[in-house]
Structures are given as C-alpha cells and as structure tokens.
Structure 1
Amino acid sequence: MKKTILQLTAWVYLISVLLLQVASLSHAKDIDGCLICHQYPGLMKIVDGSQFQPLHIDEAQFDESPHGQATCRSCHVAVVKVPHTGVSQVDCFKECHKEDKETINTDRVSLKLFHKTEQSYLERIDDSSACGVCHRLYPHSRNNIVRSFVNMHTGFLHCEVCHMKREEFPRLTYDWANAENAVFKGRPYGTFFNPKRSNKDGSLNSISRIDVFTFEKGIKRSIRDPLDVEKARSFLATEKNLGKADRKQALDAFHKNTARNKISVACNECHSSNSILDYRQLGFDEKKTYNLKYMNIKGLVTKYQVFYFPKLFGN
C-alpha cells in the first residue's frame, strides 16, 4: 500500500514538473494589452512626413518567433502610456541579451527589420477614385494620436464612405465596390475578402472595399465619377502654373461634396448601434457585426485621452 502511494506521489510530482516546464515554455501573454491596438493590419505610422512605418503585429506569427516568450515592454521600455507616439526606443538588454550587448549594438539595422515578417499592410491600391491622384495611400497625418487607426481604414473603405456630405444626396446605400488591383505586404486583409461572395479562397476577383452608392432612376451607381480622375491628373500637372484664386477654385470644386469630420464623429458613424453601415446586409455574421458596432478600441479615441501603465510588483 505504501509502495503504491509512493508511486502515485512520484507520478503526481513528475506530471507537475512537466506541466510547469510546459508552462515556462509557453508563449508570452499580452499582459499590457498592446494587441488591443496593434492587432489590426494596416495600422500605419507616418515617419518624416512622407514615409510610413507599419505598427501591426500578427500575434500568431510573433508567438512562433524566437522572441515569442517575451512581452512587448521587455524591449519597448519607453512605452508607459496609451495611446503613445514617438516611443520607438528599444532596449534589448533590460531583461535579455546582456552577453550579446556589443554585437547587437553594432547591428542596428536588424532591429529595424525585427517585426517585418509579422506585419501586414497595403503597399499599393489602384481604384477609380480621384482622391488617390493627389492624396497618398495613407493620407491622415494631422492627429498624431489617432492617425494610425484612421489610416488603417484605407484597406477596408473608400474615402467617400467617411468624407461625404450625405445631406447633399437624398438616398445613399453602402455596398462592396468592384474588384480592385491591390498589392499587399504580408497577409492580405480587408479588401481581400468580400463576405457576400461565395469565392472565399483569396482569388483576385474577391478583392473589394466598401463604397457608397446612390440611386438615379432606380439604378445604383457609385458616388464617385471616373471623369474626376482625369480632371485631378490634369490639375496636378498644371497646379504649379495656377494662380492662388484659380487653385482654390479648382480645389473647392473637387471637394464640394467632401466632409471633414471630427475623429469622434467619424468613429460613431460606423461603430455604434446607429451605424450608417448595415453590416448584416454587407455579409458579416452576427458576431462580427456586434464586434464592429461595439469594438473596444473606439473608446481610446472617443472617451479617454491617456492611460498610464501602473507599476506593479516592482516592474
């Protein structure tokens, strides 16, 4: 009997040790909630006024990387609050790599490429919009705090969905636009999936973005006029030769139906119970519809200004 108890105790001890070892080898948890924001593909930061830096992190791919057990703030030591900007400082030696400090310090290029395999974003998209003639792919840069979130929508919506004076049009509806030519870095997202179509295998003709349409004589057509593209190109080619008054007149004509909304207003127009988008009609299931209406990330933009990470347990 004692032998049996001893054997049982030994097995329990062995299993406990194995479980502890497995737990120690498991992937790090997002204990600071960094992925609440950084989980979204297309999250893009503007650098030096014209360059872009992706901020998206694919959790699954990071977990499988050699650093999958590390927490974000083990390296990103300058991050102390949410939201944050300009905190690109990385310290590889606070908790790890102390013996490799000299080697890593001389190889700063590798740090810039560190997350490249875990990021997804649009590199180029060709559509029939005049907006893209003058405005860059990720056009929002004024508000440092939320510009990355707003730019993320490039991969999901046409500009006019948000920037449209809807009162000028008596009847509007929102639907998937025709296929577009999009070039992705990393995994395709957003435009690459139209839930209303049956071909969900990632083929090229499933590339779409949500667009705004109007009805004329019972016929649904896009609010965008293809002729505006040629007009915009002509304007861009001759802009330097235009006087101040002529330039303003041309710009006013292009933007006559364009609305500039406050960020909080723009968020609530789509991500609320009174959304202008009928997510179910667009093909999203009930769970996805709920998440899009009541997504938690919106609160960082519309409710709270700054959240500081508390220092717990001496960290």
Structure 2
Amino acid sequence: MRRWVKVSVAAAVVLGVGGYVAEPYAQDWMLARDACDGALPPDAVEQLTPDDAHLLDETSRLHEGLGSYTCRLTAEGGARDDGRLVVGMEAYTRRDDQDREFMSMFPEEGFSPQAPLPEGLPGFIDKYHDINFLLPCPELAKDAGGRQRELLVRMSLGREANHGVPGAAYRTAVALANGASDRLGCGAEPLKAPTGGAVPPDPEDDVETVPLSESKGTACGWMAGAGLPQDQGLRVAAGVNDAAPTGRCDLTDRDGESVVALAAWYGDWSNRLTSRHGVRHSMTATARCDGEAANFALGASSDDIPGVGKAVQRRLLKEFAEDQVRRRGCSDLRFF
C-alpha cells in the first residue's frame, strides 16, 4: 500500500478534474479496480506490479455456454505490443478443457515439477509456476457422464512480476478463483487465502527437502519407516496436499538429485494421463476416490540404486499408495 491507496482516497477528486484523468497513478488504480470484473485485491496487484511500470490494460472474457472465463492485466513495457503480463487467469468447467490443461501441465511422463499449496487449498503449483485450483461446482448440473461438474482455475504471474512479495500471489489467486466461481455459476465454497507471509515456491528450485530420518512429521512421513538406508544422505521432498488433485513424495540424494519420484493424480482426467505414458511406467496403481479414478506411479533414476533397488521401489509405491488411500478415504486399490 504505497501509491495506489493514496490514489484511491483521492479518486473522486482525481476523476472530477479532467486534466488528471490520465494521471498514471489514477490509471493504475482504475485498472486494478476493474480488472477481472473487480475480483482482484488492488493492494495485492500493486505489490505484484513491477516497480518500474504503470498498468496498461485489462481484459475479461466470459463464455457461459462454453463454461470458460478468462481475464488479463498488463503493465507497460516488455517486448510485446500489448505490454507485459502482471496477472492472468483462465477458468474452465468443461471436462475437455480441463483435460487439455492437465495434459499441458504434465508432459514429462506425468512427473513434471510441482509444488504443494498450503494445506487446505485445493490445488498445486505446476511447472510453469501457475497456481491451479480444482473446485467442485454444486450449482452446476452433472455432466453427460453423470459426474459432478468442477471448476479448474489457472492463475499466472508475469515473469517480471514481483513474485517474492509475501502473500500477494496467494491472495490474488484465491480472489480470482472465487470470482471465477461466481461468474460461471459454479457455487464453490469460497476459498480463504493463507495467513502469514507465504511466498509460492518454485517447483523446480524451492521445494524444501529434509533428511530421511527427520521426515516423519511431513506429509510423506511414511518414508521414515519404509526401511530405506539411513547412511546414504537420502532426503525427502514432501509435495502432498490432501485437498489437491495431484501430489508428490520424492526421494533425493544429498546433492538434491532425484532418486525416486512417487506421484498421485486424482480425477478421471488422470486416466488419460497414465494411458498416454503407461508403457513407460513400470510401477503403477489405481484406486477410486470420491467416485472418480486415482492413479499412482513411481519413477526412478535407476533400478540398481544401492539400497533402493527394484524390490524396494515396489514397496515404496505400495506404501505411498496405501498412505494416500488412507488420507483420502479411497477404495479399490490395485497394483500393476
């Protein structure tokens, strides 16, 4: 709240004086207020906007019949004529659109980098650094297959946005998801932004790891009792959020290199993902969760890792899938 709040206090005066309508800070305030049909928190947008730029334009597009809603806020500068992205959002309620988006998030045999959101938020951060939510839509009719309709929301920040501002990205993402639910008639329970100074992690660089011996209190704590060697410097990256449509438990070496990756994907969209990559997944499992498919898979850097050979890897997949099934109340767990 450095410059725009002052402008908002004086907005009525500014708008009443013709010579000041185009004053840059007044334009910043008006664009932030109007962007995404008023859903964006202006203070968070101000924090995310690059320090050397004023806002340039905002657009919103709603297609109720197609179940889609998009909006975009840009700032001056950048290589493109339409400015540089500050915040962008895409929201979809149709299965085909959602499947397409999920396939784009997981192009690398399904084991693309991802990071969890704070516990309780139904989403994750994908390899593109987008914040994704998947929400049930109780006010929309079931789809042709008799399944509960859902809302997928993807929120992007521009490369030059101030990504490191504590809390601003989550407040913005939650506000956009709630706004999209209203605009598309989804009726999802409103999300609440996490409190405190959380900064979204980079899925490729910022996912925290802990020594195997200290992993018991994490969301992947089952690894601590999985009989893995304790003298090899193995570490655990816990990427599980029990409300999200995907999650990871990764085992790395002391240098941070992946040893074993265990992934879970929830929803019927995951059947398409695993069938696309199925021939490459030597260890997989399936279950039913909330009436839809769940898929689990293990990826390893080698079958001959000292202390983590093929037999141990199969045991890890079994324990991972069983832990996920317990956490989510799933059924019909099967291994392949």
TM-score range with shorter-chain normalisation?
Answer: under 0.3
Q: Give TM-score scaled by structure 1 length.
A: 0.26
The structure that is helix-richer by fraction is 1
Q: Give TM-score, length-normalised by structure 2.
A: 0.25
Higher RCO by CA contacts (8 Å cutoff, separation 6 or greater): 1
